[in-house]
Amino acid sequence: MRRIALALLGLLFVAPAAAQPDFAPKVKARLIAEHTTVAPGGTVAVALEENIRSGWHTYWLNPGEAGLPTTLDWSLPAGWKAGPIQWPYPKRLPVGPLMNYGYEGTVWLLSDITVPRDATPGQTVTLKAHASWLVCKEVCIPEDAMVSLPVSVGAAASSDPAVETKFAEARAKLPAPSPWPMRFHKGESLDLFILAPNLSQARPAGAQFFPARPGEVKDMAPQLLGFARDGLVLRLVPGRKPGTALDGVIVLTSADGSVQALDVHALPGPVPPVQFIESGEGETNGIGWPLALLFALIGGLILNLMPCVLPVLAMKALAVAGKAGKAHGEAAREGLSYGAGTVLSFLVLGGAVIALRAGGQAVGWGFQLQNPAAVAGFALLIFAIGLNLSGVFEIPGFGAGDTLTRRRGAIGAFFTGVLAVAVAAPCTAPFMAGALGFALTQPAAVALSVFLALGLGFAAPFIAIGLSPALLRLLPKPGNWMLRFRQFLAFPMYGAAAWLVWVLAQESGSGGVIALLAAMIAIAFAAWIWDAAREARRGWRVLATVLAAAGVAGSVALLSTLGPAAPQAPAADVSGIPSQPYSAVALQSLRAQNRAVFVNVTAAWCVTCLVNEKVAFTAPVQAAFAARHIAYLTADWTRRNPEITALLEAHGRSGVPLYLYYAPGKDAPLVLPQVLTAGAILRAIGAQ
């Protein structure tokens, strides 16, 4: 019934094809024996040869998202036995939005036939089988055939050398038992690890995994091949069905084009950090450790000028202004304290990313802002700093008022560095992307050295001012103007807090926004009452402290009510160009139509992304997209999405933004600069 239903559905969706019926068989089948004469008690390999019409295909043991495998129902003489079909490795066969696993051209399906010991020499028997299969193109047609084969029983086996060669070729396509142990880790992605150092050194050009059971992986999703120190990792997108073991076939393609298929039986276990390429097509990030360190240093310097860091420049400017007129030693201490806060924060964030990825999480740079609670907490911190700058409350040594001239200013400088990194963390600057892409494929010590260089680059300008008397002399002397300047600089903090409220709206909907605004009111009340009671009697101070603590606790309780991200959050794209959400299926479908495709990997919490979209996607760019019929896909990484994470990693990136242009007929995309301009887009699409 399933075969008939599939055939009818195929005819229904491709009704025009029925205008000229073609009733000729799409598959010609026959049986071929490896030996024409077999000995009593021996075994003979028999192949069901399927000659499949060009453009059509039949199916593997697991047909994928649609289809049915070939079956053989044997009719054998008494005592003769047939073994199961031995399946050669298949190929991926995308059909519309579905991914199938099967065969094209000519395929041999082998079975072993066992001859009884009491078979009479000189006897000729006929092996018969009812073969049935589903053959598909735009439509699916169930076909079958009765196939038969005479075999002689003799004292010794005899065969045709040409036929033996064909059987040898067929056996070469059968998956071999893996000589290496395998394990897998399933989280937001499903990583299959082959513990084989020599394979890692040989660097196969591609790999494809075919699951033995339907539903274990998302068949249409891209598969990313990666190289660890001790083997290979293939990153998959998991399906809905969990399993205690992962079974199937992995097909490895060598650099010379030769293919080796291995049986997979993997049990859960740890998977090491790995560097991914697009399986069969991509290239690894070729930079080495020294170049990665240089790129990280330069990227950290440039990160100071990225739009996402502009709000915290207020705090940095205030701290820098407070250095003027100080002794060189004190200014140096503050500069080094700021550097320590910056470097330590980069190391902590880098270590968190490394640890989460080692645990199988599909995270990248800026992952913390994919969590609504983290966004809300960060918004409260920025809001509280704004209140501090406005004078609602004072924290000695944190960089406000006359404390700027005190020795404890080093504490404020340290936390200014921490805050600067917290604001900058979601963003990536030029040069920084390549360095981070390299770092996240290396052992922890090497990776952390890259984050160290990034922190040093980010802190370098402020450290230089503290250490250089010449630069200090250029700064204006502290005075009353700093009080007004401090109050003015509170407004960038409020602006950053408002932006984070908008980000939370993308991740958690209106309920999350209400909870955050209520928490902000509670924090403001706590700050005000705590500061107002500083000079009151002891009893009032105790009461004020209790009320302030209650306000802070109330804000935390409100944030704990944040639920999961809204299922229908709007995309982060603000470019003004009609777009559709990114998926690997959508990209593949558009490229199959020979369409030009522009992919914008963005996030609501990435200010650089939003600025790029406003600045670069001008009216001429929009007109060029429309005139050239360019499809525009928005890969919104505001919330965790393993498919988008895989796309970033395939191009050596660990964070957003990323801009890709797929020209018609080109295998690899053009990667555009992270600081985007209209001219760069027009040049990429050939409109300038």
Q: Whole-model pTM?
A: 0.46
pLDDT at 375: 77
Of 472, 469, 437, 468, the residue nearest 451 (C-alpha) = 437
Quick: pLDDT tens for 151-190: 999 876 667 788 888 998 999 899 999 988 999 988 778 8
Is position 610 within any domain? Answer: yes
Mean pLDDT in residue range 662-675 = 84
543 and 400 in a common domain: yes
Residue 575 counted as domain residue: no
End-of-domain residue from the set 278, 311, 332: 278
Considering the domain architecture, whether residues 51 and 84 belong to the same structural domain is answered as: yes
CA-based end-to-end distance of the chain: 57
Residues 96 and 141 in one domain: yes
Per-residue pLDDT tens digits for 431-442: 776 677 677 666
Note whether 264 and 370 are same-domain residues. no
The confidence score (pLDDT) of residue 356 equals 66
Is the pLDDT score of 378 beyond 50? yes
8 A C-beta contact, residue 622 and residue 574: no
Confidence of residue 326 (pLDDT cuts 50, 70, 90): low
pLDDT attached to residue 18? 40
Mean pLDDT score across all residues of the chain: 78
Give the number of domains in the chain. Answer: 4
pLDDT at 426: 61
Answer yes or no: is pLDDT of 408 > 50. no
Specify the DSSP element, H or E, that contains 48: strand 43-52
Q: Is residue 59 situated within a structural domain?
A: yes
- Give ∠ CA 387-390-396 in degrees, rounded to 5: 75
CATH code, 199 = 2.60.40
Q: Return the higher-pLDDT residue of 291 and 485.
A: 291
Instruction: Transcribe 433-499 into DSSP letters.
Output: HHHHHHHTTS-HHHHHHHHHHHHHHHHHHHHHHHH-HHHHHTSPPP-THHHHHHHHTHHHHHHHHHH
- Quote the pLDDT of residue 125: 92
What is the DSSP secondary-structure string of 363-377? --TTGGGGSHHHHHH
Does the residue 283 lie in any domain?
Answer: no
pLDDT band, residue 221 (cuts 50/70/90): confident
Mean pLDDT, rounded, for 237-254: 84
pLDDT band (50, 70, 90) for residue 4: very low
Q: Do both 46 and 132 map to the same domain?
A: yes
Pairing state of beta strands 206-211 and 224-228? unpaired
- The answer to whether 185 and 270 are in contact (CB under 8 A) is yes
Residue 151 CA to residue 123 CA, distance in Å, equals 8
Residue 528 has a pLDDT of 78
Tell me: pLDDT of 5 over 60.
Answer: no
Q: List, for residues 8-48, the tens digit of each pLDDT value.
A: 344 433 434 444 556 688 999 999 999 888 889 889 999 99
Question: Residues 196, 120: one domain?
Answer: no
- Residue 105 falls in which region: left (phi positive, over 0), alpha (psi -120 to 50) or beta: left
Per-residue confidence at 579, pLDDT binned at 50, 70, 90?
A: confident
Q: Mean per-residue pLDDT for 133-142?
A: 86
Range of weakest confidence among 144-153, 479-488, 511-520: 479-488
Tens-digit pLDDT profile for residues 539-577: 666 776 777 677 667 666 666 655 544 444 444 455 567
Structural domain contains residue 151? yes
Q: Say if residue 584 is in the same domain as residue 627.
A: yes
- Residue 86's pLDDT is 96
Across 48-62, 95-109, 151-165, 378-392, the highest mean pLDDT is recorded for: 48-62
Lowest mean pLDDT among 236-250, 340-354, 554-568, 602-616: 554-568
Give the model's confidence band at 286: pLDDT under 50 very low, under 70 low, under 90 confident, else very high.
very low
CA atoms within 13 A on the CB side of 8: 5
Indicate the pLDDT class of residue 403, thresholds 50, 70 and 90: very low
Let me know whether 452 and 307 are in one domain. yes
- The lowest-confidence range among 242-251, 349-358, 555-564, 661-670 is 555-564
**Higher pLDDT, residue 375 or 265:** 265
Q: Is residue 284 part of a domain?
A: no
Place 497 in a pLDDT band, splitting at 50, 70 and 90.
confident
Helix (H) or strand (E) holding 276: strand 275-278
Q: What is the pLDDT of residues 600-626, one digit of tens each?
A: 998 877 767 777 888 888 889 988 998
CA distance 592 to 665: 9
Percent of the chain as helix, strand, coil, to the nearest 5? 45, 25, 35
**pLDDT surpasses 50 at 148:** yes
Q: Which pLDDT value is given to residue 562?
A: 59
Give a yes or no: residue 569 inside a domain: no
The answer to whether 318 and 485 are in contact (CB under 8 A) is: yes
Residues 526 and 604 in one domain: no
Q: What is the CATH number of the domain that holds 655?
A: 3.40.30.10
Per-residue pLDDT band for 336 (boundaries 50, 70, 90) equals confident
Which of 229, 253, 278 is the endpoint of a domain? 278
Residue 406 predicted with pLDDT over 50? no
Residues of the domain holding 614: 580-684
CATH at 9 = 2.60.40.1250
Taking only the tens place, the pLDDT of each residue in 72-105 is 999 999 999 999 999 999 999 887 667 889 999 9
Q: Is the pLDDT of residue 349 over 60?
A: yes
Give the residue with greater pLDDT, 576 vs 107. Answer: 107
Together in a domain, 361 and 509: yes
To the nearest whole percent, how much of the chain has pLDDT over 90? 21
- Same domain? 327 vs 308: yes
Residue 454 domain-assigned?
yes
What pLDDT was estimated at residue 499? 77
Q: Is the pLDDT of residue 489 over 80?
A: no
Answer yes or no: is pLDDT of 141 > 80: yes
- Domain boundary among the residues 499, 525, 559 is at 559
Which residues of 117-258 form beta strands (DSSP E)?
Answer: 124-136, 140-153, 182-186, 190-195, 206-211, 224-228, 231-236, 246-253
Which stretches within 560-596 are classed as H helix? 584-592
Same domain, 417 and 273: no
